[in-house]
Structures are given as C-alpha cells and as structure tokens.
Amino acid sequence: GDSVTQMEGPVTLSEEAFLTINCTYTATGYPSLFWYVQYPGEGLQLLLKATKADDKGSNKGFEATYRKETTSFHLEKGSVQVSDSAVYFCALMRQGAQKLVFGQGTRLTINP
Amino acid sequence: GAGVSQSPRYKVTKRGQDVALRCDPISGHVSLYWYRQALGQGPEFLTYFNYEAQQDKSGLPNDRFSAERPEGSISTLTIQRTEQRDSAMYRCASSPRTGGYRGGTYEQYFGPGTRLTVT
C-alpha cells in the first residue's frame, strides 16, 4: 500500500542554520505530495505541495522538489528561525484517491 | 473567515462509554474527512463524505466507529463502548471539493482536533 517515510526526529538546530527534512514515499502512479506543519497548540496547516514530477513547491522560505526517480520530497530551508519550531508532516494523495497518507512527523526545534 | 472547528477540544471518558465528536467544516465545503492521530504518529484516514454521502469508510477500525453528516454540513464521529486503545487525537478536515482538478488538488483544511483519553 501507499506509505510515507520521514526522517526521524527530533531535530534541533540553531537559528539561521540550513534545514533538510527527508521524506520518501511508496505509491503507485503519480501521487500529489504535500508538507503540512503543526505549530504548538494549533491544527495542521498546508505548507507546500507539488502535483507532478520535477515540480517545486515553496512557501515561507521552505522548498521541496518532487523527485520521481528517487521517490522523494525533501523539505529544505536556507536559514531557519525560532518561529519555524513545529512538527512537520510529509504526505501523499494518490491520483483518484481522496485521502491523505501521512508520514510519522518530524519535530523541529530552533534555538536562538 | 471561520476555519474548521471541532468540539469538544478535550474529552476524557471511562472505558465502555460512548463518545460523540463533532466537526463543523468551513462553510460551503463539500468534502469532509476524519483522521485519527496516535501520539508520535501522523494522522491516519478514517472516513470521508461528499455532502451527506459517506464515500469511503475503509479506515474505520471496527464497527464501534461510525460517522454521519446528515445535512451535508456538521459531522459527528461516534465511538461506542470506548476502549483504551481508542485514545488519540481525532482530526477533521474539509475541502471545497474532493481530490484534484486540472493541474492541482483541493487543499484539505484541518481543525484543531479533539484529544480523546479513555481511562
């Protein structure tokens, strides 16, 4: 079945460091790929998405590129801020399906 | 505008009791989804509706779980005879329509969740 595997956390970085959170997936066909973020005390919010191979999703300085050849959708940010501290979830939605399949989440803490 | 709301935000119940969790989607959203999230895990799909019709309930773990959306707006997820393993965060999401459109997919907007604890 479809699945998403994320880099295990927690991840702790200093402010202005470079961030990568790895995400790989298993799915038939060409799923859409997503990164969701959950800030403390809040619900899940869509951070960015990509719907086909080589698409790059970006938002708030975060980027992720849909890599079909490596079945990956790694999240990157060049310079993190304390306000980026949150739990990040990678997810997919198979074409024709209606449900999101999530990874286990990666907790990110940024220290000043 | 108002986002997805869920109530109660926290629910503590004794094993064997029934619980009802409510979701109020964004006004006008056709599709409504329920997910369950265990501690330290990502959300897992339970069921979804288009309008009042339940389209897929393949993720409901057993027949103690049921959901309804009788008027195509507010939805209730009911768990009968709760067990300790039912303890989790229950998340609701809504989207303008189901799935995808040319060049994209409809975003699912999530509510804050209901934290259920069964003692």
Q: How confident is the model at residue A109 (pLDDT cuts 50, 70, 90)?
A: very high
* Cβ distance of B40 and A91 shorter than 8 Å: no
pLDDT of residue B1: 60
Handedness of CA B15, A101, B4, B28 (dihedral sign): negative
Cβ-based neighbours of B116, under 8 Å, separated by 6 or more: B11, B13, B19, B21, B79, B82, B86, B87, B88, B89, B90
Q: Is pLDDT of A40 > 90?
A: no
Q: Among partner residues A44, A98, A104, which is closest to B41 by beta-carbon distance?
A: A104
Option in A43, A51, A97 nearest B111 (CB)? A43
Q: Given an 8 Å threshold on Cβ–Cβ distance, is B42 in contact with A42?
A: no
Cβ contact (<8 Å) for B98 and A104?
Answer: no
Q: What angle do CA B86, B106, B87 make, to 5 degrees?
A: 5
Instruction: Give the tens place of pLDDT for each residue, B65-119.
Output: 999 999 999 999 999 999 999 999 999 999 987 655 555 667 899 999 999 999 9
Distances (CA, A) of A71 to A50, B41, B118: 13, 21, 39
Q: Is the pLDDT of residue A96 over 80?
A: no
